[in-house]
Structure 1
Amino acid sequence: MSIIRVKQEETLSIKFIHQMKVGDNRRLDLYFFLPKEMGIGPHSLDEEEYYHSSITGRRSYYSTGLHLPLVQSRFISQKKRTVEEFRLYQNLFAYQFAVAIETDVKELAQIEDPAVFYADLKDLSELVTQLLKKFRRNEPSDPKWKSYFENADNYLSWFCEQQLLKLLSRAPRSSSYNETVEGVVELCRGERQHRDKRRYNSQQTQDDPNRISNKMLLLRRLIQQGVVLKDELKTLGTGLKKMTTGVATAVVMLVVSALIIKAQGVFSGLTIALVLTLAVIYGFREIFKEDIRNALWRFIQKGRPKWSRILRDTTSQTAIAKQLVWLDFMKTTELPDTVSNILKRRHSQNKIDAEVLHYGIHTRVTQKEFLTGYSTIQEQVNISLAPFARYLERGKAKIYKEQDGKISNDSVERRYQINMILAIKNGKEETKYARYKVTMNRSTIVDVSQSDLPDGVPVMD
């Protein structure tokens, strides 16, 4: 399995996923090369605003094999375990099951070929049926344990039904696959009957979309308990920024004071000319104070992390990992030599000026063992390119063609290509690299493809 997976997530976002174990020390850097014709740069995109609005992450415990009922063998020895351990194991399975189905559905929804879509839909419905059966086969009989099981079973049943119905509502239209559609619909009906039979939800709740949705959100939070890590984000450099403001103000006031003293020496007494001169001096002070402060802050902040994050276990409140996060625009001269060499491999027609947006995460995982049963944590980061799309031009051109004396035309869309270089370093190992090409237009990401690297550059596994 690759150290890190990069893939398209929905229409205008990219997701990368990687796992870390106890004691790992990992630095991950992502460089986006945005063509200047896109109009995106430090003058039009605020890094902090972009980070908080368009970069989202989810960090949780993880076990290999998302599509396997990992808790099955653990349920067999229930009598040897505490209620809390049972709940943790069950939550791990239920959470990973839900995430896996959600991921599969998103990938399946992007398939436009009916033959491929319905074949994959059939496989997915069979997988859902198999996993739910295996999960329910290990239902505990002890009332203390049963309530946790019923909460998870209720949510997984409803969630799978909703995801499959969502797929059917957006499925390519074709009458050739009615049998597959009927099979999926029958599975959804069976899950609804299963919940009715178990009396998981009152009739009043089932009839009100708002109530059933809010109840399922609550159940989702319950199964995330002990699995999803709590993150505490802190902005770095707050005190340093205040000091920078003070220094900038002091520098400006020093210049202003010198100009005032000089002006008083030129004009004798309080005259209109002196008053106007002082007004001009104070006006320039207000104009340049912010510019000097921002320039000084950018110089001091360059290369420094902007945020720190502590990941905690929600059950024990123990710190599991600490992270430092970077997000800033860079000059091409500031890029690492290897990244510059990778970029030189581009075809001549793609060698255009670009703004470089750098996103980095440095993670140090605790040396202490995780809770019993957990050995790995997984981080998923979703980077939205929607803020980029608003600066792009809509396609207005037309391509003309002649056939049998008739002239027709086709409208063409304007596409942009973003080069993306990923660098990852584990502990004292050498840094490994991967390069991707992201082709997008104003409304969607058209393609994400991996490109070859120059000889001699360590390639990511």
Structure 2
Amino acid sequence: MSSIEIKQEEALSIKFTHLLEVNANCRVDLYFSLPNEMGINPKSFDEQEYFHSGILGRRSYYSEGLHIPLVQSRFVSLSKRTIEEFRLYLNLFAYQFAIAVENDAKQLKHLNEAELFYPSVVDLARQVESTLKKFRRSEPSEEKRKSYFENADNYLSWFCEQQLLKLMSERPRSSGYTELRDEIFVVCRNESAYRLERNYNSSGTVQDANRISNKMLLLRRLIQRGVVLKEESKTLGTWLKKATTGFATGIIMLVVSALILKAQGVLSGLTIAMLFTLAVIYAFREVFKDDIRNAMWRRIQRGRPRWSRILRDTTSGMAVARQLVWLDFMTPQDLPAEVDEILKRRHRQNKVDAEILHYGVNTRVQKDSFLSGYNMLQEQVSFSLVPFARYLERGKAKVYQERDSKVSYDSAERRYQVNVVVSLKEGKSAPRFARYKITMNRSNIVEITQSEVPDGVASIESKHTGREMESRISGGSASSVRDTLKESG
């Protein structure tokens, strides 16, 4: 069964994560309810530009647990696997482990309290150190396999060190927690010494930030080989749009020709009045031709997918999945009844006029194209909210209060709430729904909370239950690495 999760990624971006099983056929829709005071509408917001610049997606193979022998007991020894199989499983482990560390680090940096931050980072550092030790026990002796192992080992060591150092550079300022800080820095120093001992990088590369960064970027791309799927996107409706333009032009010319013939019947000969009338007719054509064409195109395009995408295995070149993608503004009349009901069940003070921006993706996963050992696809889509914050007010209000005949005030920033309703339909089953509330200001996302859907509406099961459902999702601890280690035994 597919699982869906939405959480904060950067200061002004959210990440939508979706798991797809073999032979799955599902439709996921996200409905962004944007208050009119944010200034987002079809006239000020270009959906096509946002699709290419504000939405970043990555689709990859995914498997529960870490697919490295001696770390996960269900795998046989490395010597019984071909070199290509070894490389694929090695890449899968390295990629998933790097993503887990990266996600946890992004969550931890939102912890502003020192008493929560330092123990959580120490927990992450210990999990990283333990996983790397288990990973290194499976180092092969064969030269060809060893080169693949060393590339992954070099990158993971450097990447984990960088993530920990980045967290410490942005840590909450506190005079205590010296022992915890030292423990984190010891892990970083050990990894740096380990790479130096193994001669993974030359001294010139280590001392040059540009060279070491570019080398690690290359190693990451090598690790992604066979795991991250190749995407072939195509814009749909190109010829239909040309036909619509031609049809609209034909209608306009028909009206213009009729007006010219009428003018010739009324005004005989080439007179100043005739020339003036022709100028008015052609001005009418230039003013209204684009409006008529755009209105016809919006009407024809409503509800149609905007893009198609083929996901291919980078090793075999076979098509693994096919997708249709929607991105458009919707009117309240076009909303599904369940979505309309969910948006209506808000607190009275939050019921404001809003524009609905719809993103949808229909995925059909093929059964025979999966490589051995893989059982799922993971789709990660990041939505930048920078275009949403572009028109928000920058100023801060002041809240005054009186104490002992003295007036003081506190600054209050202007915040906005974006409601996101998620719809998931798998196969022929009825759709299920979830609702998230994104509280944001001009500079960052304040919090993301998940709310319950109304009674009678099927809900998407969430990893967060009870009190956690309403808690801040952007905070957390080293959950991804810890859960992965539990699965690996």
Settle same-fold status: TM greater than 0.5.
yes
Letter in 2 for 1:239: W
Does the CA-based 8 Å contact 1:54-1:383 persist in structure 2? yes
Query: How far 1:65 moved relative to its partner?
Result: 3.3
CA distance in 1 between partners of 2:199 and 2:13 (Å): 39
How many residues align? The count is 461
CA distance in 2 between partners of 1:235 and 1:174 (Å): 52
Once the two structures are superposed, what CA deviation does each residue of 1:77-116 show, in whole Å capped at 9, x if it has no partner? Answer: 2221110000000000000010000000000001101111
SS at 1:449's partner residue? strand
- Tell me whether 131-140 or 443-452 shows the greater mean CA deviation: 443-452
Structure 2 counterpart of 1:190: 190
Structure 2 counterpart of 1:404: 404
Structure 2 counterpart of 1:204: 204
Structure 1 counterpart of 2:226: 226
CA distance in 2 between partners of 1:22 and 1:192 (Å): 40
CA distance in 2 between partners of 1:390 and 1:66 (Å): 41
CA distance in 2 between partners of 1:402 and 1:74 (Å): 68
Alignment of 1:98-113 (within 5 A): 98-113=98-113
C-alpha spacing 1:454/1:69, structure 2 compared with 1 (3 Å): farther
CA distance in 2 between partners of 1:182 and 1:303 (Å): 57
CA distance in 2 between partners of 1:69 and 1:429 (Å): 38
C-alpha spacing 1:69/1:2, structure 2 compared with 1 (3 Å): farther
Does the CA-based 8 Å contact 1:71-1:89 persist in structure 2? no
CA distance in 2 between partners of 1:328 and 1:131 (Å): 44
SS at 1:456's partner residue? coil
Does the CA-based 8 Å contact 1:369-1:375 persist in structure 2? no
Taking only the aligned residue pairs, the percentage that are identical comes to 66
Letter in 1 for 2:389: A
Please tell me the root mean square deviation across aligned C-alpha atoms, in Å. Answer: 1.5
SS at 1:179's partner residue? helix
Structure 1 counterpart of 2:315: 315
Query: How far 1:2 moved relative to its partner?
Result: 7.7
CA distance in 2 between partners of 1:68 and 1:147 (Å): 16
Structure 2 counterpart of 1:324: 324
Query: How far 1:72 moved relative to its partner?
Result: 4.8
Structure 1 counterpart of 2:168: 168
C-alpha spacing 1:443/1:67, structure 2 compared with 1 (3 Å): farther
Query: How far 1:69 moved relative to its partner?
Result: 7.6
Query: How far 1:413 moved relative to its partner?
Result: 0.9
Moved over 3 A (4+): 65-76
CA distance in 2 between partners of 1:59 and 1:182 (Å): 38
Alignment of 1:411-422 (within 5 A): 411-422=411-422
C-alpha spacing 1:205/1:410, structure 2 compared with 1 (3 Å): same
C-alpha spacing 1:66/1:73, structure 2 compared with 1 (3 Å): closer
SS at 1:297's partner residue? helix
CA distance in 1 between partners of 2:361 and 2:190 (Å): 45
Letter in 1 for 2:28: L
SS at 1:34's partner residue? strand
Does the CA-based 8 Å contact 2:67-2:89 persist in structure 1? no
Structure 1 counterpart of 2:18: 18
Once the two structures are superposed, what CA deviation does each residue of 1:20-40 show, in whole Å capped at 9, x if it has no partner? Answer: 111100100111111111111
Structure 1 counterpart of 2:86: 86
SS at 1:165's partner residue? helix
Query: How far 1:73 moved relative to its partner?
Result: 4.3
Structure 1 counterpart of 2:336: 336
CA distance in 2 between partners of 1:67 and 1:82 (Å): 15
Letter in 1 for 2:266: V
Structure 1 counterpart of 2:276: 276
Query: How far 1:8 moved relative to its partner?
Result: 1.2
CA distance in 1 between partners of 2:409 and 2:23 (Å): 60
CA distance in 2 between partners of 1:434 and 1:335 (Å): 15
Structure 1 counterpart of 2:480: none
CA distance in 2 between partners of 1:269 and 1:430 (Å): 70
C-alpha spacing 1:322/1:2, structure 2 compared with 1 (3 Å): closer
CA distance in 1 between partners of 2:79 and 2:342 (Å): 57
Structure 2 counterpart of 1:236: 236
Structure 2 counterpart of 1:255: 255
C-alpha spacing 1:229/1:70, structure 2 compared with 1 (3 Å): farther
CA distance in 1 between partners of 2:357 and 2:77 (Å): 51
Query: Structure 1: where are the runs of 5+ without partners?
Result: none
Query: How far 1:9 moved relative to its partner?
Result: 1.3
CA distance in 2 between partners of 1:374 and 1:417 (Å): 39
CA distance in 2 between partners of 1:123 and 1:76 (Å): 30
- Asked if 1:452 is matched to 2:455, the reply is no
C-alpha spacing 1:250/1:66, structure 2 compared with 1 (3 Å): farther
Does the CA-based 8 Å contact 2:67-2:92 persist in structure 1? no
Letter in 1 for 2:79: K
CA distance in 1 between partners of 2:309 and 2:230 (Å): 10
Query: How far 1:446 moved relative to its partner?
Result: 1.0
